[in-house]
Amino acid sequence: MSLNEHTPVHHSTTEPDRSTEFTTFMRAYQDMVFSTAARLSANDGHAEDIAQEVFLRAFQHFAQLRASPTAGGWLKTVTTNLTLNHLTRYRKRWRLFSDLRKTAADDESSSPEVDVSVPDTLLADLGAEQRRALIDEALRKLPQHQRVPLVLYHFEDMSYEEIAIKLHASLAKIKTDIRRARAALLPHLESGGIAADVL
Amino acid sequence: MSTHDPDEALQRLLQRTLSEMPPRRAPATLELRVFSELQRRAALPWWRCSFMHWPAPARVAFLVICGALVATMFLGSGAAVAGLSSLLESGSPSLFWARQIGVLMVSAGNLMALLARTLPLTWLYQGIAVCAVLYAVLFGLGAAVYRTLYLHQPLNGK
């Protein structure tokens, strides 16, 4: 994982070695932590708050994490859990008002089956950063109940079963949501204008 | 272009596309925020940190004091109530305010009981319904304000 090239932070502490080590540790993982939180939450401000909380917890366990080969996995798990907690806590109360129309539209009976023409490659003629920006924007436009399982499946490499357990939903619903999220992602990518020739 | 199973083809395509995506760059402020918060926490006096970070003698002392307080409450509450009752009955002028508060609370209780007996039941139901409607309206207004002012605000300039 690439290190960030931010200006070093100078801070007074009684354990300079530990702080230096933690700075290095943080720079190695902060992009991954922030990406995970941002893609799940679709909100950069919340993602930064979550990333801050993740690293504060990491600092508390730094004695174990500093030499652990599974530190990245630990950070990813904590980030995922904190983001899901955040989404549950802050969005659930508004679901009644915000998702009524979407829920009705996404109803099993009213939604057509996925029928898309699938290209062999996607955004192949774009640079990595352009592609990243376009896909992140497309993910941001997905409704939460589709985006979250899609991100967990494709970015966090979780299985359908693991996602169903994590989100307290049925396996069938998770599979349906992910399938629809994939189908919904394609038009968003096409609407970016650049993918049209590829698709 | 298309394969036998479009779902599976789309899954493979997205998996390939998304797995090649570089991570997003964390904001430059993140590192500063984390270290500022660590410094703030380090500067806190021990009694404002979480209990697990207290010095061992302080933790032991705290537990002992809490245990003593609980024991005192159990053992002494009966005696305290009896003592207070006798003091109130003795008519001491220094406890005039306590008697007044007691009288006030009894009067309020009597008033509520009287209202519950005399008011028609339909009035009570109508009152509850009005409260429920007002609650729903306020909840809806809150949701609308949240969605208008907060949920749709630009995210970090995006």
Q: What is the DSSP string of chain B?
A: ---S-HHHHHHHHHHHHHHTPPPPPPPTHHHHHHHHHHHHHHHS-GGGS-GGGS-HHHHHHHHHHHHHHHHHHHHHHHHHHHHHHHHHHHT-GGGHHHHHHHHHHHHHHHHHHHHHHHS-HHHHHHHHHHHHHHHHHHHHHHHHHIIIIIITS-STT-
pLDDT digits (tens, 9 = 90+) for A79-136: 999 999 998 887 655 555 544 444 444 444 444 444 455 555 555 556 667 777 888 8
Query: pLDDT above 70 covers what percent of chain A?
Result: 67
Question: What CA–CA distances, in Å, run from A170 to A87, A111, A164, B45, B68?
Answer: 19, 18, 6, 48, 50
Confidence of residue A196 (pLDDT cuts 50, 70, 90): very low
Predicted local confidence at residue B5, as pLDDT: 66
Q: Residue B13 CB: number of other CB atoms within 10 A?
A: 18
What's phi and psi for B156, nearest 5 deg?
50, 45
pLDDT of A6 above 60:
no
CB-based contact A135 B15, cutoff 8 Å: no
Query: pLDDT above 90 covers what percent of chain B?
Result: 33
Alpha carbon distance A110, A115 (integer Å): 15
CB-based contact A1 B23, cutoff 8 Å: yes
Q: Which residues of B touch A11 (CB under 8 A)?
A: 35, 38-39
Nearest 5 degrees, angle CA B54-CA A75-CA A89? 80
Predicted local confidence at residue A120, as pLDDT: 54
Alpha carbon distance B54, A55 (integer Å): 22
CB-based contact A183 B143, cutoff 8 Å: no
pLDDT of B18 above 90:
no
Predicted local confidence at residue A101, as pLDDT: 47
Predicted local confidence at residue A126, as pLDDT: 61
Amino acid at position A40, single letter:
L
The average pLDDT across A62-86 equals 92
Nearest 5 degrees, angle CA A52-CA A53-CA A54? 90
Global pTM? Answer: 0.62
pLDDT of A40 above 50:
yes
- Give B135 to chain A, closest Cα distance, Å: 14
Identity of the residue in B6, B23, B156 whose CB atom sits nearest the CB atom of A44? B156
Q: Which residues of A touch B38 (CB under 8 A)?
A: 11, 13, 56, 59
Confidence of residue B20 (pLDDT cuts 50, 70, 90): confident
The average pLDDT across A4-11 equals 41
Alpha carbon distance A123, B27 (integer Å): 26
Which of B5, B17, B19, B44 should be substituted to probe chain A, the one whose Cβ sees the most A Cβ atoms within 10 Å?
B17
B3 interfaces chain A, CB cutoff of 8 Å = yes
Identity of the residue in B20, B24, B32 whose CB atom sits nearest the CB atom of A136? B24
- Give A45 to chain B, closest Cα distance, Å: 7
The secondary structure of B123-155 as a DSSP string is HHHHHHHHHHHHHHHHHHHHHHHIIIIIITS-S
Alpha carbon distance A146, A149 (integer Å): 6
Question: What CA–CA distances, in Å, run from A56 to A6, A22, B37?
Answer: 19, 11, 8
Closest by Cα among A39, A43, A75 to A57: A75
Alpha carbon distance B95, B102 (integer Å): 11
The secondary structure of A134-182 as a DSSP string is HHHHHHHHS-HHHHHHHHHHHTS---HHHHHHHTT--HHHHHHHHHHHH
Predicted local confidence at residue A12, as pLDDT: 46
| C-beta of residue A172 within 8 angstroms of C-beta of residue A140 | no
pLDDT of B83 above 50:
yes
Q: Which residues of A touch B35 (CB under 8 A)?
A: 9, 11, 19, 23
pLDDT of A11 above 70:
no
CB-based contact B21 A31, cutoff 8 Å: no
pLDDT digits (tens, 9 = 90+) for B45-81: 888 888 888 899 999 999 999 999 999 888 887 777 7
- Give B125 to chain A, closest Cα distance, Å: 26
CB-based contact A31 B15, cutoff 8 Å: no
CB-based contact A48 B19, cutoff 8 Å: no
Higher pLDDT, B73 or B86: B73
Q: Residue A69 CB: number of other CB atoms within 10 A?
A: 6
Query: Which residues have a Cβ under 8 Å from the Cβ of B158 and sit 6 or more positions away?
Result: A44
**Cα Rg of chain A (Å, integer):** 19
Length of chain B: 158
CB-based contact A52 B20, cutoff 8 Å: no
- Give A168 to chain B, closest Cα distance, Å: 23
Higher pLDDT, A51 or B14: A51
Q: Which residues of A touch B18 (CB under 8 A)?
A: 135, 154-155
pLDDT digits (tens, 9 = 90+) for A158-174: 999 999 999 989 999 99
B79 interfaces chain A, CB cutoff of 8 Å = no
